[in-house]
Amino acid sequence: MRIHGLFHAPFEGLGNIAAWAQARGHELSHSDLFAGEPCPKPAAYDFLVVMGGPMNIYEYDAYPWLKAEKAALALAVDSGRPVLGVCLGAQLLADALGGPVAKGKDKEIGWFDVAMTGEGLTTQAFRGFPQTFPAFHWHGDTFAIPPGAVRACASTACANQAFVFRERVVGLQFHLETSPESLGEIGEHCAAELVDGPYIQTLTQMTAVPGRFADLKILLDTLLDNLAAMAK
């Protein structure tokens, strides 16, 4: 299977999604949108993964490629291929599907519990997930659930943590792909965001329980296996 990633910053790559793909013998490629590389047509991949980034999805003047990316995401969805959006990627995906994005009440940075909704537990994408689980977060904006999509997850700080559209399209506001290395990268490049707040942890707190990363990867692998099984 051909897995293609869309990258918005040099320090936000696939994380443990790459480990999942390599372990299963899938082919990996990516487009550095921040460097001017274009989004491929759906015929070039079997599974599209849209990663995070530090920008807001409406900053068209600073990042003019965002408009083209949203159009490419709409094509990806219409193609029937699995699409996974993570953090900024989920916001872009939601907006492309008619769910606008706005600033959240509080920034959410660190490890916080996520709860599945009743509808979320019935989706194929989240088959095998527990009712609640700790996930990694690093966001200030939030998306509205797109028309026709299922609200799949919520947290105390953010009501809309995940959505599922047509079973094969998933947007995650939180991160399941985070590894110690990828956390270190975002922690280094986005350290200015680590200010006092009710849902903002320090880097020391974020790395205090190493076992969390392995638990997170189990959930990631479950989600990706579920989505890959739906690929045409």
Catalytic residue numbers read 87, 175, 177
pLDDT at 172: 99
Q: What does the buried/exposed string (b/e) look like for 18-57 if buried means 16 or more CB atoms within 10 Å of the residue's CB?
A: bebbeeeebeeebbebeeeeebbebeebbbbbbbbbbebb
Under DSSP, is residue 175 helix (H, G, I), strand (E, B) or coil? strand
Cα torsion at 134, 135, 141, 143 (round to 10°)?
A: -90
Task: List the one residue out of 69, 71, 91 whose CA is nearest residue 144.
Answer: 91
Please give the model's pTM, rounded to 2 decimal places: 0.97
Element spanning 138, H or E: strand 132-143
pLDDT digit string (tens) for 61-108?
999 999 999 999 999 999 999 999 999 999 999 999 999 999 999 999
pLDDT bin (cut points 50, 70, 90) of residue 140 is very high
Tokens of 77: 């969805």
Cβ 201 vs Cβ 207: under 8 Å:
no
User: What local confidence, expressed as pLDDT, does residue 216 receive?
Assistant: 98
> 3-state DSSP call for residue 162?
strand
Residue type, 83: V
Cβ neighbours of residue 55 closer than 8 Å, sequence gap 6 or more: 8, 62, 63, 66, 88
Locate 62 and state its tokens: 């600073």
Residue 123 Rama label (left phi>0; alpha psi -120 to 50; beta): beta
DSSP β-ladder status, 2-7 and 27-32: parallel
Q: List domains and CATH numbers for the chain.
A: 2-228 (3.40.50.880)
Q: What is the pLDDT of residues 11-70, one digit of tens each?
A: 999 999 999 999 999 999 999 999 999 999 999 999 999 999 999 999 999 999 999 999
